Homo-oligomer: A and B are copies of this chain.
Amino acid sequence: MNFIESLTAAWANNNSLLCIGLDPDPARFPAHLQGKPGAILEFCTGIVDATADLACCFKPQIAYFAAHRAEDQLEALIAHIHARHPGVPVILDAKRGDIGSTAGQYAIEAFERFQADAITVNPYMGRDSIDPYLAYPGKGVILLCRTSNPGGSDLQFLDVGGEKLYERVARLVADQWNRDGQCALVVGATFPNEIARVRALVGDMPLLVPGIGAQGGDIEATVQAGRTRNGSGLMINSSRAILYAGVDAKSGNDAAKNNPNAYVEAARRVALETRDAINRCR
């Protein structure tokens, strides 16, 4: 199955539009993992195994591995997901963007080294900087469109001939760059009006929506604005709110403190709540 087919199957099989972002921050790991070799992999596989039946995709963010010289653990994590949870596709969140010859190297990194099913990329350098990813049949290519951060407005909200730059990106991708149906777009949950605008421009193209949870985006507004006619079409990402649900809780619960599985149980609980909160709005 290609990325879009795999995603579509996971939407149905797991009854979920929830993308679980894997942004491992060792400073926030539970005590039994602090300072332990391979802790990043162990932390993430714990999350993955506890939530795979609740997610439509996993999205490891490569910077959180690269900052800790943990590329080997990222390789092992993605291999683990493919082996244990083959129904859940993996998006490498890397936001790469470079000229064709270099983009070809980044595509090797993402699709051959890390075996990702899809990658996030930046549209600023234009179509020929995207082609090397599209050259991999069946892989997903997810372009930044309207990002969830405040500074996203600096360029993406500029007027370009009667539309905003993010709208132009959405149209370029939908009308010209997506010839083989591999593309998706990133639109932040913090801007539901823009989600609705992008949905109107791109038909049923999947949208990756970061920004709920720690960044403050509203689930109901996101789903209402972004769902397709059949009530799917979205990968609504939550990272920190799930990963650190148990670790950061100041409950004073000694049983939880002494239970190495407390963080995965808390992650599963929050993932379930989030999936169901999303589903109530579909």
Interface size (A, Cβ < 8 Å)? 52
CB neighbours (8 Å) of A23 from chain B are: 101-102
Taking CB as reference atom, which chain B residue is nearest A61? B102
Separation of A98 and B147 alpha carbons in the complex (Å): 9
CB distance from A163 to the nearest CB of B (A): 10
Indicate whether A53 reaches chain B with its CB closer than 8 angstroms. no
CB distance from A111 to the nearest CB of B (A): 10
Taking the full assembly, how many copies of this chain does it contain? Answer: 2
CB neighbours (8 Å) of A243 from chain B are: none
Taking CB as reference atom, which chain B residue is nearest A166? B124
**Restricting to A219-235, which residues have a CB under 8 Å from any CB of B?**
none
> Among the listed B95, B112, B158, which residue makes an inter-chain contact with A98, where contact means beta carbons less than 8 Å apart?
B95
Stretch binding the partner chain, chosen from A34-42, A65-73, A83-91: A65-73
CB neighbours (8 Å) of A103 from chain B are: 63
CB neighbours (8 Å) of A96 from chain B are: 63, 95
Indicate whether A178 reaches chain B with its CB closer than 8 angstroms. no
> Among the listed B100, B102, B147, B158, which residue makes an inter-chain contact with A165, where contact means beta carbons less than 8 Å apart?
B158
Indicate whether A125 reaches chain B with its CB closer than 8 angstroms. yes
In the complex with contacts A147-B99, A151-B126, A105-B63 CB distance below 8 A? yes
> Among the listed B69, B71, B109, B128, which residue makes an inter-chain contact with A63, where contact means beta carbons less than 8 Å apart?
B109
